[in-house]
Structure 1
Amino acid sequence: MVELFTRILLLALLWWVNCSANTDRSALLALKAHISSDPHNLLLKNWTTQTSFCNWVGITCDPLNSRVTGLNLSNVQLVGTIPPEIGNLSSLISLDMNENSFYGPIPASIFNLSSIQVITLRGNAALSSELPTDMCKHSLHNLRLLRISFTKLYGQIPSSLGQCSSLEKLSLYNNSLVGEVPKEIGNLTHLTQLFLGFNTLTGDIPKQISHLHMLQSLWMESNKFTGPLPPDVGNLTSLRELILYNNNLTGNIPNQIGHLRNLETLSMASTGLNGSIPKEIGNLTALRSLYLDNNVLNGVIPHEIGQLNNLLILSIDSNKLIGTLPPTFSNMSSLKYISLSHNTLNGTLLREIGNMKALQELYLINNTLTGVIPEEIGGLDKLVSLYMNGNKLIGPLPRVILNMKSLVALSLNKNALTGIIPGELFTANIKSVDLSDNHFQGSEQPLLVRMLTTFTTIDMAENKFSGKIPDSIGNLNSLKCLNLSHNNLTGQIPSSIGNVKALESLDLTEEDMDLPHEEKEKLHALKRSSSWKAMDGKW
């Protein structure tokens, strides 16, 4: 009797395994039937009934019962729809169909898979669906990764998502989601990554997010969040990335931000935040990138900012900052990029700026900086771009700039610089220079004699240059834009300018000069651009 029972049980088990296998095969063949384009013939040639589906490309099976546990068809350029039969793969653990061209709805049956741990459908731009309102209520309790980003997911984030208690990574990035982030998101205490950026989410940032103590990445940028940044965000002590730019927040940066000592990237540009920069920001010693630009921040730059020894990028332009650069500023010797433009900073440039040897880009446009450009700036050997236009800088252009061999772009226009521009300035790699609207003077422009043929832009308008343009201007083979307007130049424009075939814009407004007709005809690019600017109807 026992032997008979054992045989019956074994037969029943074999029947169940066979039925389950047939169900899996049918589900996969249904997917194949819904593919309208398979440019690599992966499914056409490989997914055939002549071979076991466990040997099909992209399929992983459990070796004990031959049930499908993995379906990986990522980045193989498939076009088609996802059939509801995929939900019949009841042993499926991982579903990866990233970077294809699936379109239409996401079958609700996928969200009923009780064993699933990974669902990733990223980059299927025409995949259009809502998340089920009851998702995670009856299934998905093992789900660790849900990535449905760069699709056309619409509707609201269901509050039931908070019942996916095993979730570690959640990305609904770059979709068309609306409404508020449900407070139940705070129940996902295993979450390490939360990407909700580039949607149309509204309302406050829920304070329950502060319950996510394991969170390392929080991206909520380019939405329509309002209200203050919750002070409880300081509880996210594991956080490495906090990305909130391009929202409609109000209020100050909370002092509790200083608790995020593991933070490496803080991006809160264009959020509407006001008030002063808290001194506690100096506690973020792991910080590598700080973006606070285009807000309404006021007050001075705190001295404590000099404690950010690992900072590579500092961008606080387009605010209402006042005062001088703190003396600790130059302690940030790892900085590669500084932008403090469009504020009301005053005082002189720190001589210690020469200690910032890693600096590659410096933007201090439209402030009220005074004094001379310090000689120490010549020590910035890696500096590529130097923009300090729109200030109140005085004195001569320091010759130490000649030592800045990496410099490509120099803009010092709209200051009060004086003297003669050293001709050697342009013997390096510089390609664009704007020294207009200063008080430079001299009998002629000795710098033009030494300019290299790599120049593309020269703007020296509104100075006090006099004399003639030298014949050597014809050597500037790459020159596209030349502006010498509003000076005191005289004489005839040298015929060699006809050799500058790339010239698109020439402005000699208010200059007593002329150009022979035959040379005009040589400047083909200039004729096409219609950028002939001179007075008295000569051109």
Structure 2
Amino acid sequence: MLRHILTMVTSRFFLLQTRLLLVYYCCIASFAIVVAVQTSNVSTDDQSALLSLKASITSEGQNMIFTNWSTNNICNWAGVTCGASHRRVKVLDLSYFGLSGTIPAELGNLSFLVDLDFTNNSFQGPLPQELARLHRLKFISFGFNNFGGTIPSWFGSLSKLQTLDLYGNQFSGSMPAAIFNLSALQVIDLKNNHLSGSIPAEIGNLTLLKAVYLDNNKFEEIPNEIGYLDQVENFLNGRIPDNICQHLPNIQKLYFAHNKFDGPLPSTLWQCKQLLVLSLEGNNFTGSIHKNIGNLTRIRKIYLGNNNLTGTIPHGVGDLPNLEILSLMGNNLNGLVPSTVFNMSTIRVISITSNNLSGSFPTNIGLGFPNIQEFYASSNKLSGVIPKSISNASKLTGLDLGDELCQLKNLGDLLLQGNQLSGSIPSCLGDLNAALRSLSLGSNLLTSTIPSTLWRLTYILHLDLSSNYLSGLLSKELGYLKVVTDIYLSNNHFSGSIPNSIGSLTDLVILNLANNSLEGSIPVTFGECPSLEFLDLSKNNLSGVIPKSLEALSHLRFLNLSINRLQGEIPEGGAFGHLSYESFFSNGELCGSPHLQVPLCPNSTSSTPLCQNRCIITILKYIIPGIPLAILIVAFIYMEIDIA
């Protein structure tokens, strides 16, 4: 009985174990089938397409495709992204891989593809018709490759496409109208190709369009239905549609620069009230600037230069509260510059060069331009004086007043120090001799040499060219500045010697030539500048002795000859009596009084009386107090002798 029971239990346990193993193997088999199905979906459809692309690649810069595209799981391949659920290729991004080759027709089998990016490679040949089957595509970029021929019309069948980038290729011919049936399209970038003809009127159908880049092609006509055009720099001619703002109610940037447009500016252009940038420079526009330009209250940049515009600058320009750049150069504008223009607190750049503008600058020009960086007004008919307030424009980096600057015969003070002005000093400044009394160009970025004409300013009182990058020799004509009282030429790159003609500047009070590369000796003629109070020749390569003639400068209060290669005896007379070590340090071979921390001069007659005086003082200091003691000792000795 017991044996029967054990047999039944063992049989049932074996049967249960068998069933559990069967269930386990069924689960394993099911999982394998699922994996096999998923792998089959990828390998049979997408993998073959990618392998065809791999076979079409002739070379690659990063060696990613040839080495990485070899495993079974294509979702781990470089540049490939698969969907999380269907495990199909969703993104193929091979941008900047340095690939060369052609695009195979099999790429059209990537039916789940949403994003295709081949930017910045060297693919060539035609784009295959089979790519039209990629109906899920939202982004496609073949920018910066070597594709040629006409742009395929099958792009028009990609109904979900939002971005089409074909820039930087060799496409030619006209734009296919089918592209403009893509109602979801937001960006078209076809710049830097060889496209020509007219821009299709169907572009007006693209109501979601945000940007069109067509620059550097050969388009000839722009339609009224332009829609939204962010940049166009082609060879467009004709006229801009007068009703452009009706088609562009929300346009923010309008670039039509460097084309061949002519005729007047659109009369309704000033109704584009969302406009931030208006660039129409480099065309053949005629007529005047509309007086309602002041309606563009959001605009920041206006480029109308190099056209044939006439009339005056509207007063409304000065009422634009956000304007940063105003370029009107190279036109035929006339009349006065509105005073409001000189009070725009946001303006950074103004260019009104090469017009027929007249009038003078307001006296508060520097105060009304707190942010001005560049101001160009040459080749006009401006007159009057440049106000001293221009020096308050502390951010000024460019100033061009051209010939007008030198025609301001009554200009008394030109103060432009502490800016970032570059270039050379205008040679015509020498023509302002009659009135110019102060010329301050210090602390800028000026280069080249001092023009010889500058020494014609024989009535100049104050000359400051310090802290620039000026070079060359100091001309002996410096002596022509007969009435100058202060000259600042420090912190430049001047070389050569200090001219002896410096001695003719009898009214000179301040001379600063520090931190240059001057060499040679200190002119003896400095002693002939009786008014000199401040003389700084430090940080040069001056050599020789310090002239004793400097002792005659009775008004000298400051002298700095440090960091040179001077030698010999330091004079002791005149102002030298109150000078200190700081005036002479780092010369090496100077000698003189010990209080100047230089060695005593050997066999120096001038130093002997001083030494003798000090010796006498030292002797008296220690001997005189001992005389009474000596007398007492002698007296005591005599007393002892007497007692004895």
TM range (shorter): 0.7 to 0.9
The worse-fitting range, judged by mean Cα deviation, of 370-379 and 406-415 is 406-415
Check the 8 A contact 2:415/2:438 in 1, yes or no. Answer: no
Query: Is 1:153 aligned to 2:164, yes or no?
Result: no
Partner amino acid, structure 2, of 1:477: H
The TM-score with structure 2 as length reference comes to 0.64
Measure the CA separation in 2 of the matches of 1:430 and 1:43. Answer: 52
| 1:314 corresponds to | 326
**277 and 367 in structure 1: CA distance in 2 versus 1, 3 angstrom threshold:** same
**257 and 418 in structure 1: CA distance in 2 versus 1, 3 angstrom threshold:** farther
The TM-score with structure 1 as length reference comes to 0.76
Check the 8 A contact 2:441/2:464 in 1, yes or no. Answer: no
- CA RMSD in angstroms comes to 3.6
- Which gives a bigger RCO, structure 1 or 2 (Cα 8 Å, sep 6+)? 1
| 2:316 corresponds to | 304
Measure the CA separation in 2 of the matches of 1:324 and 1:142. Answer: 55
Deviant stretches of 4+, over 3 Å: 14-21, 395-400, 402-424, 432-453, 464-469, 472-479
| 1:67 corresponds to | 88
| 1:406 corresponds to | 420
| 1:227 corresponds to | 238
2:104 to 57, 63, 83: 83
Query: Is 1:366 aligned to 2:388, yes or no?
Result: no
- For structure 1, the residue ranges without an aligned partner over 5 or more in a row are 1-10, 480-498, 501-539
- CA drift of 1:81 comes to 2.4
The worse-fitting range, judged by mean Cα deviation, of 319-328 and 54-63 is 54-63
1:421-467 CA deviation, whole Å, 9 max, x = no partner? 66762432241489989998334998889555612699x9xxx9984
| 1:340 corresponds to | 352
Query: Is 1:477 aligned to 2:493, yes or no?
Result: yes
Measure the CA separation in 2 of the matches of 1:46 and 1:274. Answer: 61
- CA drift of 1:76 comes to 2.6
Query: Is 1:286 aligned to 2:298, yes or no?
Result: yes
- CA drift of 1:61 comes to 1.6
| SS of residue paired to 1:218 | coil
| 2:257 corresponds to | 245
Partner amino acid, structure 2, of 1:130: T
The worse-fitting range, judged by mean Cα deviation, of 434-443 and 74-83 is 434-443
1:53-452 alignment runs, 5 A limit: 53-124=74-145, 126-136=146-156, 139-203=157-221, 205-209=222-226, 212=227, 215=228, 218-221=230-233, 223-235=234-246, 236-354=248-366, 355-391=368-404, 393-395=407-409, 397=411, 399=413, 401-409=415-423, 417-419=432-434, 425-432=440-447, 441-443=456-458, 451-452=466-467
- For structure 2, the residue ranges without an aligned partner over 5 or more in a row are 1-32, 483-487, 496-516, 519-644
Check the 8 A contact 2:449/2:470 in 1, yes or no. Answer: no
Measure the CA separation in 1 of the matches of 2:347 and 2:471. Answer: 28
Check the 8 A contact 2:46/2:109 in 1, yes or no. Answer: yes
| SS of residue paired to 1:310 | coil
Partner amino acid, structure 2, of 1:206: P
Query: Is 1:455 aligned to 2:470, yes or no?
Result: yes
1:156-181 CA deviation, whole Å, 9 max, x = no partner? 10111121121111111111101110
The worse-fitting range, judged by mean Cα deviation, of 171-180 and 61-70 is 61-70
- CA drift of 1:339 comes to 0.9
**Greater share of helix:** 2
**181 and 94 in structure 1: CA distance in 2 versus 1, 3 angstrom threshold:** same
- CA drift of 1:148 comes to 0.8
- CA drift of 1:255 comes to 2.3
**127 and 421 in structure 1: CA distance in 2 versus 1, 3 angstrom threshold:** farther
Measure the CA separation in 2 of the matches of 1:193 and 1:254. Answer: 21
Measure the CA separation in 1 of the matches of 2:321 and 2:424. Answer: 27
